[in-house]
Structure formats: C-alpha cells, structure tokens
Amino acid sequence: MLRLLRMSSTSTGPVSTTIRQKLTEFFNPTHLEVECESHLHNVPKGAEKHFRVQIISDKFEGLSTLQRQRLVNKALAEELKTSVHALRIEARIPSEYEGQKQVDPPRCLGGGNR
C-alpha cells in the first residue's frame, strides 16, 4: 500500500510519462517499469530528476550490458539532456526475467547540493 502511494506521487508526471512512451515505442518491451525516485534524493518535492527503469525486451538479445544501457540512454537522450539527472537501468531479454524486482537504489548522500 505504501509502495503504491509512493509510486503514484510522481511516476505519473510528465517526464515519467514521456520516458514510458519512448521506451515502449523503441523497444516494444514485454515488461516495463518506470518509476521516479526523486523523493529519495536531496531535491525539491515533485522533482522528476531520478528514475529507475526495468525493461524487458528481445531487442537486447546479443548485446552486452553496456550496449543495452547505451541504447536506453540513446532513446532517452532528450530527457537526459534536459531534466533527468540519474537513471538506473536494468535491461534484460525475456529469458533473463523471472519477475524479479529491480534492486533498491543506494542511500542518497546529498549529492553535494549541486
């Protein structure tokens, strides 16, 4: 219940929505989770700057982890240039996914206020 409340606060914001749309369009994923994690960081309430993405798609077949992440970065280049400050990516092919949850993020250390 708490998790649902936490997710609903900013994961339906404009940046979350755009990220979800672009990843859906580019990768046609079988599973996609996009969640804003800015509430865990040292930024104003309602900010959409930190995201986690768990994306399962056969488009990643044969690609190394780095190549997969670069593809996701490329799809979200506009958002990364303008508003997204941190992006956690888990990109797998369907055979690598058994419903496992993406790992938790590390504790924020303040970011140096910059």
Partner 1 sequence: MLRSVSFARTLFNSASFNAIRPLSSESARVLTPELKERIQKLVQSGDVVVFMKGTQNQPMCGFSRNVKLILDLHKVPFRDYNVLEDEELRAGIKEFSDWPTIPQIYVKGQFVGGSDIFVQMHQEHEIAKFFDEHGIPSKYSETKKPNA
- List residues binding partner 1 (CB under 8 A): 26, 58-63, 65-67, 69-71, 73-75, 77-78, 80-81, 84-90, 103, 105-112, 114
Q: Which CB, 12 or 30, lies closer to partner 1?
A: 30
Q: Which CB, 4 or 44, lies closer to partner 1?
A: 44
Contact, 29 vs 6, CB < 8 A? Answer: no
Shortest distance in whole angstroms from residue 99 CB to partner 1: 17
Shortest distance in whole angstroms from residue 113 CB to partner 1: 9
Question: Parallel, antiparallel, or unpaired for β 50-56 and 31-36?
Answer: antiparallel
33, β-bridge pairs: 54
Token readout for 33 is: 């989770």
Closest by CA to 16, choosing from 44, 43, 51, is: 51
Q: Which CB, 4 or 66, lies closer to partner 1?
A: 66
